[in-house]
A = this chain, B = another copy of it.
Amino acid sequence: MLDQTKLPIEESWVELREPGEVADAIKRMVVRGAPLIGAVAAYGLALAALRSRARTGRELLSDLEGAADLLRATRPTAVNLFWALDRVLEAARRAGDDPEAIRQAVLEEAHKIAEEDLAINKRIGQHGQVLVPDKATVLTHCNAGALATVGYGTALGVIRAAVEAGKEVRVIATETRPLLQGARLTAYELVKDGIPVTLITDNMVGYVMSRGMVDLVVVGADRIVRDGVFNKIGTYGIAVLAKEHGVPFYVAAPTSTLDLTRDSSQVIIEERSPDEVVRIGPVRIAPEGVEVLNLAFDFTPMRYVSAVITEDGVFKPDELLKRYG
């Protein structure tokens, strides 16, 4: 895997050989982004299947369930992780009693999840690009790009598809503290693709909207529940500002992100280490002794969401519930 903690300074690759290494890479955000975490976790189970010395199907299933528990415990908020693990376990259970057949089924399911993700993102892009006018400036938060998925991206997929459709598109990327995925990853992807991108700090969103500089917002999602969207911390503030300024606010996400049997009260928002806030590289930016709150995600109620873009189309919140609920 490309170590995303090192970008954009260094393109450094790590090899993951054990499910425990995969779990650690997800936890440390060497890989991140809801769809990518799902695909990587699926391969984590494939590694568990290959490494297992189980001689019966039953033993192997038990090993896989142990590995799934390990992978499940890495990050609590994005649902694609759980969806992918369940899907691979289900394929394993369907494969019968022969350990080799199970191993093959697990690996195939991981491949399928990865391949499908790329195709799904292209379809999200196709549906979503219709919403992007020519000469539009799109604001996006965090990184819902190729680096957050198997490729192409969800929110950035919409932007890429608009560019491929011949539209002139400019992007405003929020840096996305504390881990700076906007500055480090989104800016990196867009500069590489030659799509014009302006980087701002998270607290400049109000300014750029008040000056009429933003035509629409497109972000990804980590989990979509009945009453709203969990996504990277800061998304909610952007959604409130978008509504205040009459700017459409779109969420681009595969259906694997949907969790419409739950509502927001049933979802845990991950709290991460204070170190992510008080240190940037080797630099300490706050005094010793200060308390820190470091939430990785926030919740945006559906009343702020103009539409959700999935691989099946564009859905207003009530339509989304009708279609998938």
Closest to A210 in B: B236
Bound-state CA distance A281–B284 (Å) is 9
Q: Which residue, of A180, A282, A291, A295, has the highest number of chain B Cβ atoms within 10 A? A: A291
Copies of this chain assembled into the complex: 2
Select the stretch in A29-37, A183-191, A309-317 that faces chain B.
A183-191
**A196 close to B (CB within 8 Å):** yes
Select the stretch in A16-24, A86-94, A216-224, A237-245 that faces chain B.
A237-245
Closest to A189 in B: B287
**A247 close to B (CB within 8 Å):** no
Chain A residues with CB under 8 Å of chain B are: 8-9, 172, 174-178, 180, 183-184, 187-188, 191-192, 196-208, 210, 233-234, 236-237, 240-241, 244, 277-278, 280-295, 298-299
- B291–A198 contact, CB under 8 A? yes
Q: A177-B175, A293-B198 are in contact. Are A282 and B285 (CB under 8 A)?
A: no
Bound-state CA distance A197–B292 (Å) is 8
| Shortest 8 CB-CB contacts between residues of A and residues of B | A203-B234, A206-B237, A281-B283, A206-B236, A177-B201, A202-B203, A8-B287, A183-B286
Bound-state CA distance A246–B91 (Å) is 50
